[in-house]
Chains A and B, each alone.
Chain A
Amino acid sequence: MSASGVLSNKRRAFYGAGGLTAFLVLWEASVRFGLTPSVLLPAPSQIPVAFTRELVSGQWLAAVVSSLSHYLVGLLAGASLGVGLGLVTGISVRTEASLAWIVRLLRPVPGLAWVPFAIIWFGVSTASAVFIIAIGVFWIVYFATMGAVMAIERDYYELARAFGYRSVTSQWLTIVVPAAAPGILAGLRTSLGQAWMAVVAAELFGVPGVGQRMMQAASLLSTDIVVVYMATMAALYGLFDVMFIVVQNRALQWKA
């Protein structure tokens, strides 16, 4: 709120819509007046037609369903591993120390560098797409969770013990998980965006989905179809992000 202090929300929306309209008009004009060849860049007005064609042929839905399943399964796998291991290393100094060097070794390897192994191990398949996505998600969520657990005030543990929660398990449930939740959720939200990038990257190598469809279209110079899928991904990501924020706000309504 304070950052937009000078502009009301309504005004902000007005300027935002204005900027977007100007962008589309300029883009349309540059194609119409031949400033950019339409083979290289489609005009925005061509997109709805291309979209309808993809929709009618059934290819749009198939690609989206396939990509979404990669996205969700990869996200789930990476996030649960990341949260689980992060909780353990956040609490146990010994586990953290035992894993520290392994982490230091593997952490710098970019998620996409795992593509060769993904293909060798799983072939060009759903499993390999899920694998690539999960790795990227894992690191983000793992570090976020571990950091959040380590930052928990010692006083809360003392409180738990004073009120009879003496076992580690009982402290996990009463203190660790709720206290670390804001940090974990922040990590998960970052990973939502990262995972989309990984989806496209994994599918560019031929696993069926939005990425693969874009490559096919590009090889036929159907740039309008490429743009259709770019817009599709932007919309899907936006949808997930908004849904996540709603859930996050509900879960963290206790925050001041």
Chain B
Amino acid sequence: MESVIDIRNLALSFGEGAHKRTVLSDLSLSVNQGEILAVVGSSGIGKSTLLRVIAGLIKAERGDVLVRSARQSDAPVGFVFQDPRLLPWRRVLSNVLFGLERLDIPPTLQLQLARRALALVGLADYEDRFPHQLSGGQKQRVSLARALAIKPDILLMDEPFSALDLFTRHTLQDEVLDLRRKADVTIVFVTHDIDEAVYIGDRVIALTGEAGGIALDRVIDKNKGNDRDNPDLAQQVALIAAALNHEVSSDQRSILNP
């Protein structure tokens, strides 16, 4: 299988001198074309940082980060943040157009792409609203449409549904799975919820604070269906949780006996 993201020995830290804090050290990771990679890990471990590095928003201190775009397109990566981050002065349609306006395509086509993306997330009738007139779930849908409108090869999602109620969260999770069936897109999906990771991901990795950075890398077997109450998946969740708990306790040990 062809990989679209290749990270080799990535290292990154914030701050200077005594305040220097290493966030990712020596992390290597490949993401395959068309795959949904779910990334779990406790808060502050560097999940968002990893996504920012992939998106090119921050530079790696050491190591190589390679992002291959199949189409050599101008907009290979779409980003969905934890907060919807809509621009409040733009109407819904205009928010979805945000990434398109910059591209070298005719305005009529831009409109068409934006409307199609809005329809995809079920908000075709809301294009004239302002963000403050939407519910939390609708805003996050618009944010998803904004990322999809540019038809990215790679979609980076940073805990996109964690602020939503359970019902909306489940609906949007299914929409992401549905989206992958329809479009040829690779997704890196960050979450702190192992259930969500197993449900969404073809593969789940868990980040840790230790060198190497990845405590667990597991392909989720979905041959028996991806049902929410599939006991197989529940078992996967339990296994990952156990592995993570082990990691956490070994982390704590290393803090106690450095």
Could you say which residues of chain A place their CB within 8 Å of the CB of B212?
none
Contact B89 A178 (CB under 8 A): yes
A181–B103 CA distance with the chains assembled, in angstroms: 25
Q: How many A-B residue pairs have CB under 8 A?
A: 49
User: B83 to A155, Cβ gap below 8 A?
Assistant: yes
A159 and B147 CA atoms in complex are apart in Å by: 11
Query: Closest 4 interchain pairs by CB?
Result: A256-B132, A163-B99, A162-B79, A254-B89
Taking CB atoms and an 8 Å cut-off, the chain A residues in 177-198 that contact chain B are 178-179, 181
Could you give, for residues 28-64 of chain B, a 1 whenever the CB lies within 8 Å of some chain A CB and a 0 otherwise?
Answer: 0000000000000000000000000001010000000
B55 with A254: CB separation less than 8 A = no
A156 at the interface (CB under 8 A from B): yes
Interface of A: prevailing SS: helix
Cβ contact within 8 Å between B79 and A163: yes
Residue of A nearest to B79 (CB): A162
For residue B85, which residues in chain A have a CB less than 8 angstroms away from its CB?
155-156, 159
Q: Is the Cβ of A164 less than 8 Å from the Cβ of B57? A: no
Interface readout for B7-42 with A: 1 if CB under 8 Å, 0 if not?
000000000000000000000000000000000000
Interface centre among A155, A174, A254 (most CB of B within 10 A): A254
Complex interface: chain B residues within 8 A of A253 (CB): 130
Taking a contact as CB atoms under 8 Å apart, the answer to whether B74 and A164 are in contact is yes
Tell me the count of chain B residues lying within 8 A, CB to CB, of chain A. 23
Q: Is the CB of B102 within 8 A of A163?
A: yes
Question: Are A164 and B102 neighbours in the complex by a CB distance under 8 Å?
Answer: yes
- A162 and B55 form a contact (CB under 8 A): yes
Q: Is the CB of A162 within 8 A of B57?
A: yes
Confirm or deny: B122 has a beta carbon within 8 angstroms of a beta carbon on chain A.
no
**A255 vs B131: C-alpha distance when bound (angstroms):** 9
Tell me, in angstroms, the Cα distance from A20 to B222 when the chains sit together.
79
Tell whether, in the assembled complex, residue A254 and residue B88 are in contact, meaning their CB atoms are under 8 Å apart.
yes
**What 9 additional pairs, Cβ within 8 angstroms, besides A179-B89, A254-B89?**
A159-B81, A163-B99, A163-B150, A164-B75, A174-B87, A174-B98, A178-B89, A178-B90, A179-B87
Complex alpha-carbon distance, A1 and B31, angstroms: 55
- A161, A175, A179 pick with most chain B CB within 10 angstroms: A161
B residues bordering A, Cβ < 8 Å? 55, 57, 74-75, 77, 79, 81, 83, 85, 87-91, 98-99, 102-103, 130-132, 146, 150
Q: How far is the CB of A142 from chain B (nearest CB, A)?
A: 22
A178–B87 CB distance below 8 A: yes
Task: Report A's interface with B, CB cutoff 8 A.
Answer: 155-156, 158-159, 161-165, 170, 174-175, 178-179, 181, 253-256
From residue B147, how far is it (CB to closest CB) to chain A in Å?
9
Query: How far does the alpha carbon of A181 sit from the alpha carbon of B88 in the complex, in Å?
Result: 12
Q: Nearest chain-B residue to A251 (Cβ)? A: B89
Which residues of A are found within 8 Å of B74, using beta-carbon distances? 164
Contacting residues, chain A, for B146 (C-beta < 8 A): 163
17 contacts between A and B (CB under 8 A): A158-B57, A162-B55, A163-B99, A163-B146, A163-B150, A164-B102, A165-B102, A170-B102, A178-B89, A178-B90, A179-B87, A179-B89, A253-B130, A254-B89, A254-B131, A255-B88, A255-B132
CB of A156 within 8 A of CB of B87, answer yes
Chain A residues with CB under 8 Å of B57's CB are 158, 161-162
Tell me, in angstroms, the Cα distance from A162 to B102 when the chains sit together: 12
CA distance A158 to B87 in the complex (A): 12
Which residues does chain B contribute within 8 Å of A158, judged by CB atoms?
57
Asked if A164 contacts B99 (CB within 8 A), the reply is yes
Q: Nearest chain B CB to A156's CB is how many angstroms away?
A: 7
Q: Would you call B99 and A254 a contact (CB within 8 A)? A: no
**Distance in Å from the Cβ of B82 to the closest Cβ of chain A?**
10
List of B residues within 8 angstroms of A159 by Cβ: 79, 81, 85, 87
Q: Which residues of B contact A181 (CB under 8 A)?
A: 89
| A179–chain B nearest beta-carbon distance, Å | 7
Assembled-state Cα–Cα distance A251/B150 (Å): 28
Tell me how far the C-beta of A24 lies from the nearest C-beta in chain B, rounded to whole angstroms: 44
How far apart are B52's CB and chain A's nearest CB, in angstroms? 8
Instruction: Give chain A residues whose Cβ lies under 8 Å from the Cβ of B102.
Output: 163-165, 170
Most buried by B among A156, A158, A163, A179: A163
Q: How far is the CA of A255 from the CA of B87 in the complex (A)?
A: 11
Q: Is the CB of B130 within 8 A of A254?
A: yes
